[in-house]
Each structure stands twice: as C-alpha cells, then as structure tokens.
Amino acid sequence: MVVLIVHDSIYGNTASIAQAMAQALQPEHAVRLESVNIGHVPDLTGVDLLIIGSPTRGFRPTPAIQDVLEALPDAGMAGLRAAAFDTRLDLDTIQPAPLRWVVEVGGYAGQTIQRRLIERGCVEAGTATGFLVLGTEGPLKDGERERAAAWAKGLILNQNILEGAA
Ligand SMILES: Cc1cc2nc3c(=O)[nH]c(=O)nc-3n(C[C@H](O)[C@H](O)[C@H](O)COP(=O)(O)O)c2cc1C
C-alpha cells in the first residue's frame, strides 16, 4: 500500500509522531513522509492512504495544514481513504486547572482536519486522534510514539478488512 503522511510541526513533536507511524508501516508499505512546505501541493497519484497531522494551535490545525487541505486536488481526494491526527497538551499539565475545560471544549486540530478531508471527498480511514505533549514545546508523553505506531497500523488493518469484505 502507498501511504502519504503530511504533517506540520513547530517544535518537532508532531514530526516525531509522523516518523513513528512511518517506521511502523515500513518496509511492508511504501511510505512518503512530507512536512508541509509553503507552495508545495503533495502529489496524490498512486496514494492509497493519506494521513494528515498537525499540532493543535488555538484549537485548530496550523495555517499551513489548512492551506494544504484546500490545495489538494479534487480528483485525487475523491474516494481516497484518509485519516487525521494532532498533537495537543496533556490536560493534566495545564495550569490553572479551570483552563483545562476551555482547552477541551475548544477542540483539536485532528477533528477539524478529518472533517475537511471528508468534505473534500475522502473516505474516513479511521477515527481522528490526538497525541499528548507535556508542554508547549514538548516533550511527548511517554508511550505516545508507540500509540502512534499502533494507530497507523490500525488504519491499514481497517483497509484490509474492507478489501476482504468487498
Ligand atoms: C500558540 C499556541 C497555541 C496552542 N493552542 C493549543 C490548543 O488550543 N490546544 C492544545 O491542546 N494545545 C495547544 N498548544 C500546544 C501545542 O499543541 C503544542 O505546542 C504542539 O502539540 C507541539 O507540537 P509540535 O512540536 O509539532 O509543534 C498551543 C501551542 C501554541 C504555541
């Protein structure tokens, strides 16, 4: 399967999660790992699974990820299996505690990306998820790279089940 993982990352945590996914899927699958690059539109030719990830900033994906979501071509998106992830603050680390409620209710980048992928014609490959950082610049919470690897493998499993049922 050809898997394209597109991500943005300011402090490197989302990139680290994307790398963990790529490592988990290789060499069985052909993985292209691309960080967003202003003006560059990822090539969807031959891609079977698209994964897009962003840090959550102000409850949303970064502007660069939002731009990519709009720039990807309709033809490539139609029917393409896709899934989204984000990185986000571990609620337990946010002080003062009442702020945790604001952050949680505000929402996260992953859900926004997933919604837009579907609006653009993609098929949901799995539930959007978030990986936790312990502070704005990281580090990732222990075990999150392993969880990312398992999540990515789960997307492939979903695809195999669907193909087996077809
Ligand atoms: C300006 C700014 C806004 C942020 N907004 C949120 C937010 O709304 N929710 C949240 O959980 N984390 C928020 N964070 C924490 C980021 O999610 C965290 O910096 C990011 O996951 C780190 O990923 P990166 O290393 O790939 O940049 C924010 C961080 C910054 C700097």
Catalogue the E-assigned strands of 95-139: 123-124, 129-133
| Among 111, 146, 122, 100, CA closest to 4 | 122
| Among 157, 11, 152, CA closest to 83 | 152
Minimum CA distance residue for ligand 1 atom 28: 57
User: Tens digits of per-residue pLDDT, 111-125?
Assistant: 999 999 999 999 999
Minimum CA distance residue for ligand 1 atom 1: 57
Domain hosting residue 47, numbered range:
2-165
What is the rounded average pLDDT of the residues 50-73?
97
Minimum CA distance residue for ligand 1 atom 3: 57
Q: What values do phi and psi take at 75, rounded to 5?
A: -60, -40
Query: Is the pLDDT reported for residue 68 higher than 70?
Result: yes
Ligand 1: residues within 6 Å at CB?
9-14, 55-59, 87-89, 103, 106, 133, 136, 138
CA separation (Å) from 132 to 35, 114, 135, 138?
20, 18, 9, 9
Map residue 87 onto helix, strand or coil: strand
Report the number of distinct structural domains present in the chain: 1
**Distance, CA 47 to ligand 1 centroid (Å)?**
29
Q: Which atom of ligand 1 is nearest to the CA of 59?
A: 8
Residue 166 banded pLDDT, cuts 50, 70, 90: low
Q: Which atom of ligand 1 is nearest to the CA of 13?
A: 25
In whole angstroms, what is the distance from residue 5 CA to residue 51 CA? 5
CATH number at residue 79: 3.40.50.360
pLDDT at 23: 98
Please choose from 7, 8, 136, 144 the residue to mutate so as to test ligand 1's pocket, defined by most ligand atoms within 8 A of CB. Answer: 136
Q: In whole numbers, what is the pLDDT of the chain averaged over residues?
A: 96
User: Tens digits of per-residue pLDDT, 81-93?
Assistant: 999 999 999 999 9
Q: Which atom of ligand 1 is nearest to the CA of 137?
A: 19
